[in-house]
Structure 1
């Protein structure tokens, strides 16, 4: 997965989470997604990073 594909996928993550958590400000969702992405950004296998970010961000936002 290239950088542009990964960024597009992360935009989709934010969109899906915003739909799932409509009461939360989009900026909060973007911040959580960015934080989770930064934790995984050093990984060498990029294909699953958007999925892992989405799961971790969803768990954090649900608390």
Structure 2
């Protein structure tokens, strides 16, 4: 069980790294980490964990895109 949790955490760190690279011009590292944490927390009560990192990346990417669009409109 701990092995699965460690793999998930490693995958989430990978998500943070990929999104930092993808959004480095629009968002700081703290913003990316906050978006990933928010997305990850939204799946905390889900019993099936295999796809959580993929879902977290999609949701965090959406959050960051929405924030970038809001900043462009301001």
Shorter chain as normaliser: what TM range? over 0.9
Q: Distance in 1 between matches of 2:63 and 2:42?
A: 14
Q: Choose 1 or 2 for highest CA Rg.
A: 2
- Counterpart of 2:37 (choices 22, 26, 34) is 34
User: For the aligned residues, what is the CA RMSD?
Assistant: 1.1
Q: Secondary structure of 1:3's match?
A: helix
Aligned residues: 63
| Residue segments in structure 1 that go unaligned for 5+ positions in a row | none
